[in-house]
Structure formats: structure tokens, C-alpha cells
Structure 1
């Protein structure tokens, strides 16, 4: 081969080596730049002596510059409790490029303050000698966040444990993750009874709906929340506890983490048994006569209004207006206490003589009203009225007094496409009752001309 050709080939080889060297230097420069600017601290120690630190390591150890750290033993900055585990980790690194698993330890700054860190050591070559390159991640912020979270959780646990409202958490499988003391108390579960981890449907309670009918587990609001992610508020249901007591609850359910569809569900519930009983009592008092327990005028008008709106339905078809004859004399001669006893006995007799679907009410004084349900035959009405008369005419024994009362009964029937108001129906039944009295008032003659054709005395 000619000399010139050999020179050209040799020149090419030299140029290639120079290119590789330049590329290696460029790569090294990039690595140094990365190390210098990374937020994690990096140091290199050779035989335990620090030979390199990046700016982040200078800041982490509280030094003014790298010169304050170079040449010092690495163990100067390692907490005594962490020295032995650190040496054991790096002694296991025997092959170049091998790395220790991430480990947590404590460093000690120049000012004496302890810093929690996570480190990874790599056996590498530094200036043609084996050395350990250590990447150090400051855990101060993470530990502070964890401490804050623990404190918040402790506060939350304390608050929840002191609530009068029950709180429980259910996982995606329907298993109980937590329940506060109030929750156990409301559900009738002993404080010492282990229930965590059990299926919520296996708790020692039987659920019923507002009407007292069994409530299947899939109708419980927690099942709906876990299935759909939707919150449920103020869901009222009852539970029959293991001790036999029935308790009514108002319940709210939602996902513990609404942003995560796979989140567990949290339920808060309050015992509203007393409130519900009080509310029902108030509703009863608002619609029933305090003396006799019969429906009062308000409830009568409400039921009558519904029947008129039914337009030919089966709610109410006949109205009986009943007035006791001679009751005023009983009040005047024997007193109101005995008069009240008479009214109570008459109310009981009326209820016993009629069907459960018929409504018996007291308008006031000695006036009663009966709303007959269904479609009784007109021919049957006289027999019904006679039965009521006979029932109420039976002697009444009140505080040693033998009393007899009779009754006047007025009847008005509701026809199809009825246009009268409830008050007008009562008025017509009242007129019919007065015509039924033993000595009817003559002045009712005008009223007879105005009355409805389906209104008559018994």
C-alpha cells in the first residue's frame, strides 16, 4: 500500500479518536452541570473522606462553601445512630456501578441540627480511584407533612370520638373500617364488641323503612353511594337493635374522597327517635280532639276536601252529623267533669260501632261527625243510624251517676260531580240533624228549601 494511503487511513483513525474524546468531554460536562444544579444533595467520599460536594450538599449541611466540607470524614456529618447501618450498606458494594437500596438516616449539620434524609450510595470511579457517590434527598418537608397529617388525624379522631352523632366508614366491599363510640351506642353495640372488618349487613341490627317495613341492604343509602358515588342526605330509616329497642335514624352518606370513585364511603347518622315521636305527637295533637282522641274539625275538613276532590271515588260517600240531645242539662246539673266523661264514652261507642275505614270526629261540644267510606246502599243507612242510636242510648255510668243520652242524626250524601265545599256539606248535614231532633226548630223551614236534594234526616 502506498505511504500516502497509509497516512490518510492513519489520519482518519486519529480524527475518530478526537471525535470520541470530544463527545465524552461533552457528556461529562452535561453530567457535571446536572449534578451542580440538581435539588438533591450529592457528595463523593473516598475511603471515608469527602472529595466532592455539590451546591445542594453545601446548603443541606449548612456550610458556607464546599471548602468547609472537603477533606473531612463523612462520618462527621452522620448521626451516631446512623453510622453503623451506613457502613454496613456501603461495605456490601463491591462491584463498580453497584448501588445500595434507598435508606433513611439522619445527618448532622455544621450548626448541630439533625436533618432526616434518604440516601443511595453508588460505587464509582473518581479520579481513577474507587469512591462512593452518595445521592441525598432531604426529608424535612416530607416529615413535617407526615407529622401534620398525623396531628390532623389525631385531632379528627378525637373530634369524631366525642361526637354525639354516629360516624362509620365502609370500604368498597362493604366492610366496616371504623366506627366511633357514638355509632356503637346508637346501634346498640357493646363498646368492647369487635365489629371492624365485618360486613356492614352483618351488624346486629335489622333495618326498616319509614313505614316499618323491612329495608333490604341494597336500599340502604350507603349501597347507593358506593354504587354511584352520589351523596345521600337526611335519609330516614329505623333499626331494630339486638336489645329489642327500635331506634329511628337520620343518615347522610358520601364518598370519603369524592374525587376518587373507588373511595370508601362515610356515613354519619343521628338518633331522631325522640324527635320523631315528638313530631308525630304534635301532628296528632294538631289533627285530633284532646278530650276524646277523635279527629278534630281540621282533619275532618281535610278528609272531606279530599273526598270531594276524588269526584265519585270511594274515599267518602256519606256524612253523618250527630248531636247529643239533653247534654247541656248534664253539664249544668252534674258539672263539666262528668260531661267530659260522657263525651269520652260516646266517642268510644261510635268508634266501636263503625268500621275502621270510617272516620269519626268531634266538631266541638257535643257535636260529632262521621265520614262513611265506600258506597253504602241508601237502604242500609236507616239500619246503620238506628244501630248508632241504640248504641249511644245504652245507660252511661259516670262517677256513680246513671245517665242516658239520645242522639239526633243528620245525613248528607255526596253525589257524582259534587260541587259543594266541605263547609257547605257540613252545613247541610247540620240542617238535616236539626230536622231530626225531637222538637225541630220551625225556623228551619227556609233552610229546607235551600238544602241539597241528597241531604235528609235519618
Structure 2
């Protein structure tokens, strides 16, 4: 290394220059620098003066350093200073509260370095004002507290689930929906919950169709996915669920799921759907539902799922209404519907299409002998006396039958007409109540 005549390295600043550079750095540093000899303050930069509340330069020089430390922190400060034995030793960064000259307090962190000041042992302390950070942390804690309080009070269930299916958090509403009130579910896998998940048809829901796992695997959000839950208390609840990643662009993010219990709404909708497609008096399928099922059967190719259509009319029902009143007539219709239902298979469709007229869609393939036997059995069932509001009533029924074949070309209305016509032809003249039926093709037979 080359030195000049004074022993200095060419181009290197001298000691005085270094001192000026250091002083300039200290004077303009945003960090507060305080020098004390263990008792009295001997130097502080402008940032420290502002921090401690000085109103003019050097105002606080000569003051005892302990004047600016909250009493609770003094023992720890003295201990840390005693641990510094050699020049350059540095204490750990420590939190403490300082007391400004005007009495206000400031949360800070400080680091002390053992040094020399004017030939004597001294301590250089770097002080970091943590006020802004503490305010931000406090604000974040308040926000988290408020958020937690809101989530806890929601009627909507909210659950955070990690990539392995374990529950990271769950609010009370979600526990209520799944019948797990009082249980600590954090850390529990949703696969081990004591509940059965069901699809829309009430069948066990395959793991591949759990909405949260789809979202975790693909990142795609799921909205308003409806599934059922069989709970340990025996209740079946219907849930509408939505799921998305907690952090949208992080493939490792857990998923947040929200749940709404739609059991009551589903029941109301089911009730409305039932009312729209069923006869309010007997609970049987109404005309529109029967014709819809018949149309579906006629629209199928090949062998028809409906073998035959039976048109059933109660003989002399008008006289019951006229002589005994509509209340008795309604009871007769209800009992007749129950008897017909008991005489049919579960897969057959029985509907009331108006007044005292019923329609049966016989499912599957039926042999002619079996069909005749069924018609005879239904007629015998209907002839048994009916007790309605204290009246003993005998009701006969006439049944018209039209069969469907694989090459069926008739419309539902045409099939219904032919079954009606077959019934009319089978009815004895004395029991026709003045009805007039138009003639049609001979694709039917009567019983």
C-alpha cells in the first residue's frame, strides 16, 4: 500500500475529516442518538432532541439520563449497561418507555454501545421511535378483534379449511348448522366429522364432490353449492355453501367456506312445488303432472316405460254431492284415492284429473291377463262400503283401459281421450249421468 510523506494513504480522508463526516451523519440521522456517561447526558443529535421534547439545541445536555426513562424500566437498563465490559460491546435491542421533557411518554426500542467520550467510559444509545408501529399494531389488533366479533355473531357459518382438509377456524353458526355446538373443531379434519354429507338426492356425497376440495385443488370458487347433512342428533339439514381461496393468488392458501342453512326454504319450495303438481284434496298427482309423466313416457324410444293408462270414474258420485253434500263427497273422494293407491305398485302413477275422475299410468310391461286381474281387483276394492261422516255409502267404479306400444304415435291428450272413451263405453247406461263421449279409434278396451 502506498503512503504519502505524512504516512497517509493517498485519497483517504484524515481523522479530522472522518470526525466531520461522522458528525454530519449523526446530525442528519433520522434515528435518535444519545450519549451519556452512565448518569448524565453528554450529547444528543437533533432527532433525539425532538424525541425527548427539547425546544432548543443542547437544552437537555447535563440532565440525568434516568429523568427520561419510565421508572419500571430503570432496573433493566442498569443491568444491561453493567453487562457491557469492553469498548464496542453492544446490548440487545430492548423495548422501553421514555418520558419526554413535557411528561408525555413514547414507546421506543434502544440499543446501547460501550464507547469512549472525551477519554472517559460512555454509552452511545440508538433510540428507535416505535410509536407509529405500535399504533399500527394496535389498529391491526382492533381490526382483528372487530372482525372476529363480527364473524362470531354472523348467522352465516364461516370456516377456514387448510389444504389437508383440517379446520383452522370455525364460527358458532357453522357449529350450529352441523350439530357440533360446544365442540372444539380446530385441527379436526372435515373427513372425520361425525356427520354424513349428502348430494341433492340424499345419497352419500363422494369426496371428489366436496366443494372445498375442488376450490383448494383448482383455485376455482364455488357458489351456492347445495348439499345435505345428516347430523348425530338425527336431523337432516340442507346447506348452501360457497368456497374460495383465502388468498386468491396463493396456491398453498387455505379455503374459506361460508354456509347458509336453507332447510326451511327448501321445505317451503318443495311444498310449493308439491302444491303446484298435486291435488289438494287427495294429495295425488294432478292433471298437469300426470300428463307430463305420460308425455315423458311417450317421448321415449323403444319399449315404453308406461304399459297402459287406466281412466277411472266413480259411478253416481254426482248424486252423493247433491243429496249428502260436498263435505261427504270430499271424504268419499279421499277414501277412494287411498283404496286405489293401496291397489297399485309404488312405481305406478295415480292422479286425480278432476271431479270424480282418476288416471293411472301402469309402469313397465304388463301382460293382458295381469291387466284384467288388476282392473277387476280395483273395482272390487271400490265396491266395499265407505263410511263418510256417519253415512254408509256404496260406490262403484268404471275403468277404461288403453294400452301403449313401442311405436306409439298418440299425444298425451289423445291417450287420455281414448282411455276416457273406453271408460264411457264400459259404464252401464243407467250410470252415465247424462255424459256424452265422442267416438274415437278402437285402440282401447273397457272393463
Partner of 2:237: 247
More moved, 385-394 vs 298-307: 385-394
- Secondary structure of 1:131's partner? strand
Distance 1:278 1:331 in 2: 34
CA contact (8 A) 1:165 1:182 kept: yes
Q: Which structure has greater helix proportion?
A: 1
1:357-436 → structure 2 map (5 Å cutoff):
357-378=347-368, 380-416=370-406, 418-436=408-426
Distance 1:421 1:93 in 2: 103
Distance 1:229 1:218 in 2: 15
- Secondary structure of 2:173's partner? helix
CA contact (8 A) 1:172 1:264 kept: yes
Distance 1:74 1:393 in 2: 112
Could you tell me how far 1:226 is from its partner in structure 2? 3.6
- Identify if the C-alpha distance between structure 1 residues 87 and 228 changes in structure 2 by more than 3 Å, giving closer, same or farther: farther
Aligned length: 444
More moved, 327-336 vs 435-444: 435-444
Q: State TM-score, norm by structure 1.
A: 0.85
Which of 3, 13, 35 is matched with 1:22 structurally? 13
Distance 2:316 2:95 in 1: 99
Which of 143, 148, 157 is matched with 2:148 structurally? 157
Distance 1:68 1:260 in 2: 54
- Identify if the C-alpha distance between structure 1 residues 23 and 303 changes in structure 2 by more than 3 Å, giving closer, same or farther: farther
More moved, 102-111 vs 26-35: 26-35
1:212-361 → structure 2 map (5 Å cutoff):
212-215=202-205, 219-361=209-351
- Secondary structure of 2:13's partner? helix
Partner of 1:6: none
Partner of 2:73: 82
**Does residue 103 of structure 1 match 2:82?**
no
More moved, 175-184 vs 338-347: 175-184
Distance 2:15 2:407 in 1: 104
- Identify if the C-alpha distance between structure 1 residues 112 and 442 changes in structure 2 by more than 3 Å, giving closer, same or farther: closer
More moved, 12-21 vs 266-275: 12-21
- Secondary structure of 1:19's partner? coil
Gaps of 5+ in 2: none
**Does residue 454 of structure 1 match 2:421?**
no
How big is each residue's C-alpha offset from its partner over 1:132-153, in whole Å with a ceiling of 9 and x where there is no partner? 2222221111211222222222
1:29-40 → structure 2 map (5 Å cutoff):
31-40=22-31
Distance 2:406 2:21 in 1: 98
CA contact (8 A) 2:81 2:112 kept: yes
- Secondary structure of 2:114's partner? strand
Partner of 2:124: 133
CA contact (8 A) 1:322 1:367 kept: yes
CA contact (8 A) 1:311 1:418 kept: no
Gaps of 5+ in 1: 1-8
Distance 1:86 1:443 in 2: 112
Could you tell me how far 1:172 is from its partner in structure 2? 4.5
Alpha-carbon RMSD across the aligned residues, in angstroms, is 3.1
- Secondary structure of 1:17's partner? coil
Which of 104, 107, 112 is matched with 1:113 structurally? 104
Distance 1:283 1:320 in 2: 25
- Secondary structure of 1:407's partner? strand
Could you tell me how far 1:305 is from its partner in structure 2? 2.3
